[in-house]
Amino acid sequence: MNGKGDKWRGGWTTEYANNFNSIFNKEKRMKKRVFIFDVDGTLTPSRLPMTDEMDRYFGAWLKHNKFYLVTGSDISKLQEQMCYHDIESEGFFTCCGNEFWIPDPHVVNISAELVYENKWTPPGDLFHFLEHVLERNDYHPKTGNHVEDRGTMVNFSIVGRNCTLEQRHDYSVHDEVSQERNKLAKEIVDRWPELDAAVGGQISVDIYPKGKDKSQVLDVIRQHQITPADEYIFIGDRTMKGGNDYPLAKLMDTETDCKYYQVKNWEETKTILEKYAEE
């Protein structure tokens, strides 16, 4: 094959077709991909900032990629963990998608503009119930700060959010065996069918009105992207049933332009991103 002048058109073969891009000096069109990341356990170790290795990798990766973040945490926790990379996202969702923020480096302290928040007043008897759960549960230690009302959702933890990293780890081992967070989430949904409860990070349960979970972010992202992406890719560590990434993963399963990955830690996320970068 000597280039496009050779036996032009009459001699068009599969070989020409397969080498179309190089013959016509065309760059292969890059697929427009939009990545959506959970934070804890996906980009960072649980409740800790990104590791130096991931910080460096992600900092370079984001120069060529579009991404959103979707976490169960609130904005202060997310920003503690993201090593300023949240500023370079297209947007980020906190409180399981119940708050949407657009980065704006000019906004003092938080460097983001709140686009919406789904304000929610939890039923009063939910708090009574959670207090009762704490009393009846004999896990020790209980460190304080057990119920966090974030204004759009409630986070509940038996060991308490004041725990040290070691106590956090011990509780997560206990929970792995006892499955008490999954049982509690089920009990909440049985008592309040209008609510949903899901296991997010290592020590707590997220509670919000039914449907006000991470799945709500996909529509917002689609509308926010002026030209549609070819592919939306979600990576999370809790995409299994009962996890707070599950509703989004389940929705993405039904959409032809979406894909999701379940990971065990940030290392697996990095490996996935490296594979995409090789394409």
Interface residues with ligand M1P (CB under 6 A) are 39-40, 46-47, 71-73, 77, 155, 200-204, 206, 244
CB 48 within 8 A of CB 62: no
Smallest gap from residue 118 Cβ to ligand M1P (A): 15
The Cα 225–Cα 217 span in angstroms is 12
Smallest gap from residue 213 Cβ to ligand M1P (A): 11
- The smaller minimum CB distance to ligand M1P, of residues 33 and 264, is found at 264
Query: Residue 244: which region, alpha, beta or left (left: phi > 0; alpha: psi -120 to 50)?
Result: alpha
Question: What residues pair up with 44 in beta bridges, in sequence order?
Answer: 40
- The smaller minimum CB distance to ligand M1P, of residues 79 and 202, is found at 202
Smallest gap from residue 95 Cβ to ligand M1P (A): 8
- The smaller minimum CB distance to ligand M1P, of residues 69 and 273, is found at 69
Q: What angle do CA 182, 241, 100 make, to 5 degrees?
A: 95
Smallest gap from residue 206 Cβ to ligand M1P (A): 5
Distances (CA, A) of 189 to 11, 131, 195, 209: 67, 17, 6, 10
- The smaller minimum CB distance to ligand M1P, of residues 45 and 276, is found at 45
**Residues 6 or more apart from 53 whose CB is under 8 A from it?**
270
